[in-house]
Amino acid sequence: MKPFTWEGPEGMAAREPKAGEAAASERRHLGGGVSRQVDRAQQYGSDLIVDLLRAFEVEYAALNPGATFRGLHDSIVNYGGNAFPQIIQCCHEEIAVAVAHGYGKAKGRPMAAIVHDLVGLLHATMAVYIAWLDRAPALVLGATGPMATEQRRPWIDWIHTALVQGQAVRDYVKWDDQPASPQGIVESFIRAHRIAMTEPRGPVYVCFDAALQEQRLAEAVPVPDIGRFAPPSPIQGDPRALEVAARWLVESAHPVVLADYVGRSRAAVRALVELAEMLALPVVDLGSRFNFPNTHPLDLTGAEDDLLPQADLVLALDVFDLQKALGTVDRTTRLARPLIGQGTKIIHVSLNELAVRAWAQDYGRLQPVDLAITADTAVAIPALASLCRSPAHGDGEVDCTSRRRERRAALEETSRRMRDRWRSAAERVRGARPVSWPRLAEDLWAVVKDEDWVLVNRTLRGWTRQLWDWTDPSQYVGALMGGGVGYGVGHAMGAALAYRGTGKLCIDLQPDGDLLYTPSALWTAAHHRIPLLIVMFNNRSYFNDEDHQVLMAKARGRPVENAHIGLRIDDPPVDFAGLARSFGIHAEGPIGDPAELRPALERAVRHVKTEQHPALVDVVTQSR
């Protein structure tokens, strides 16, 4: 009997590359120097790890090398033939994990990041934390000096070994383990994969003892049929609770939908569109994923300040931080104020309760909710839509049909007016020098709108959503949830790896300060021929914080002229195009004259498409 496997939310890749397509294209460009001889007989503990990676079709392993996994490194290359997984050589462990994070999000299944013992793991920690916050699957594989102390090399194997290493990330991975035998490796790996892929998804860490990796196996250890260890089917909400939610939705006069992580599943987005159309619901996309097409007249993203105070019901779908979603914050006092009224009912459908840990306070402020439903929105939204469609929730005594028609007309009008405002605001700054953010969004749109594009890092503070047509979940991999700077380019490269060979044009909207943390990622992009269009919005500042210093100065009556100290990146200005070229990447800039922008973007897009290689355009922009 074949084991039942639930297919899970669809990955967002437009087309799976054919077997070996991406690797073959890379080999063509990397040239010779690689022995074709591959040893296919499993002999060592680390060969077994490669068999497991291959069984799960793990395409890539991002790594920075280290002696504690020299066994595994050798096995990937000489036993696995550097395919499934293929090594993605990174210059920093934070980049390696960011790549795995971006890939897992875009592909819907994990790749591996291999991090050297304690020092590599400690470098990787912020990236692991961000993957955790973003609920993205990632296999973080680590290594340790031998636990059998007599097998340790003096000094280095002691200073780089901790008891137990997983503790460094335990509070922000879904699971960690350190198997102690070949059979233990099998069980640990399979369990880790399943846990990473079970919603809410996340990174896992498995640490392999160096001696166990290098141990000669008396006989080959078989990998079981992994089909029988698939993740469980998704969690559906309590039917009675869904019934109540459907009734409240149907009866509400002023409902508002807030959608945050819904876009993990294409089916959920489809069902949300259906639900919104059926009941004339305004949808606000909070942006952790692509949740709702902006071309839909019921997309009211940006109108929440007007809608929430009127709302009698809020349907929150997979919202990361409810307090933030339901209110507004005063930047000077840091105090949050709710936008909803006292009597607004709140329904929250999410998996948040399953991701609570005591260490990170990522669960946010305690928020009263009238109906909390633990469920995966991938199955709960379709269920809600079908309940609302059923005759039991028909019009009843209230004339819902005409009320909804009126509501929809009013919402469409609000949406039209909001879009007109955005276009006029963009028009007003079109000629600004250096380039304004809306101008950058407009010129880039003109260049990519006929491409099969996907935004793999940022949105230009929403301008691309406000001025472009976002029609499909595969056009945006979602926000970087961690707010940790230094992360964008690695994450973007991971997503671009997931899409390599699919014909999609991957676009990284890249701030300057962020890139300066991890510029060596550009070398990896060039070396592995990752087709990625990097468009910088370079304001020559850590401007987010400059803004805070201005605010402090004003609040305290201190000189605003000092607010740039420790924050500007303009003396000297960084030559990002020169930096990128030094890593072997086609690059242009700095471009501050808006008239030069579009031709440079056109050349860069052509380069990415024809050469299947990264390109960077350094655009000097307004601060914000």
Ligand X SMILES: Cc1ncc(C[n+]2csc(CCOP(=O)(O)OP(=O)(O)O)c2C)c(N)n1
For the CB of residue 59, give the shortest distance to ligand X in the complex, in Å: 29
For the CB of residue 543, give the shortest distance to Mg ion in the complex, in Å: 5
Residue 284 neighbours by CB under 8 Å, 6+ apart: 256, 257, 258, 259, 300, 301, 302, 303, 304, 307
Task: Kindly state whether residue 513 participates in binding ligand X, applying the rule CB under 6 A.
Answer: yes
CA distance 92 to 98: 10
| Residue 442, both tokens | 């407009």
Phi, psi dihedral angles at 288 (to 5 degrees): -65, -25
Task: Kindly state whether residue 512 participates in binding ligand X, applying the rule CB under 6 A.
Answer: yes
CA distance 223 to 229: 12
Task: Kindly state whether residue 590 participates in binding ligand X, applying the rule CB under 6 A.
Answer: no
Task: Kindly state whether residue 292 participates in binding ligand X, applying the rule CB under 6 A.
Answer: no
# chain residues binding ligand X, by CB under 6 A: 14
CA distance 457 to 133: 16
Task: Pick the closer one to ligand X by CB: 383 or 460.
Answer: 460
**Which letter does DSSP use for residue 75 in this model?**
I
# chain residues binding Mg ion, by CB under 5 A: 6
- The type of residue at 520 is S
Task: Pick the closer one to ligand X by CB: 251 or 321.
Answer: 321
First-to-last alpha carbon distance for the chain, in angstroms, is: 59
CA distance 312 to 249: 10
Task: Kindly state whether residue 549 participates in binding ligand X, applying the rule CB under 6 A.
Answer: no
Exposed (0-12), middle (13-18) or buried (19+): which is 240, by Cβ within 10 Å? exposed
The span of 218-226, 235-243, 266-274, 482-490 binding ligand X (CB under 6 A) equals 482-490
Task: Kindly state whether residue 511 participates in binding ligand X, applying the rule CB under 6 A.
Answer: yes
Of 536-595, binders to Mg ion (CB under 5 A) are: 539, 541, 543
State the DSSP string of 357-413: -SSS-TT-S----SEEEE--HHHHHHHHHHHHHSGGGS-TTS-HHHHHHHHHHHHHH
For the CB of residue 70, give the shortest distance to ligand X in the complex, in Å: 31
The span of 27-35, 138-146, 480-488, 610-618 binding ligand X (CB under 6 A) equals 480-488
Each residue 497-536 as x (binds Mg ion by CB under 5 A) or -, in order, gives --------------xxx-----------------------
Angle at 543 between CA 130 and CA 616, to 5 degrees: 70
For the CB of residue 546, give the shortest distance to ligand X in the complex, in Å: 8
For the CB of residue 390, give the shortest distance to ligand X in the complex, in Å: 47
Phi, psi dihedral angles at 145 (to 5 degrees): -55, 155
Task: Pick the closer one to ligand X by CB: 437 or 523.
Answer: 437
Task: Pick the closer one to Mg ion by CB: 400 or 619.
Answer: 619
Task: Kindly state whether residue 277 participates in binding ligand X, applying the rule CB under 6 A.
Answer: no
For the CB of residue 420, give the shortest distance to Mg ion in the complex, in Å: 30
| Residue 339, both tokens | 């936008």
- Name the CA dihedral angle for 299, 303, 305, 307, rounded to a multiple of 10 degrees: -60
Task: Kindly state whether residue 514 participates in binding ligand X, applying the rule CB under 6 A.
Answer: yes
Task: Kindly state whether residue 539 participates in binding ligand X, applying the rule CB under 6 A.
Answer: yes
For the CB of residue 484, give the shortest distance to ligand X in the complex, in Å: 5
Binding-site member from 184, 484, 573, 584 for ligand X (CB under 6 A): 484
Task: Kindly state whether residue 618 participates in binding ligand X, applying the rule CB under 6 A.
Answer: no
Summarize as ranges the residues that interact with ligand X (CB under 6 A).
483-486, 511-514, 539, 541-545
Summarize as ranges the residues that interact with Mg ion (CB under 5 A).
511-513, 539, 541, 543
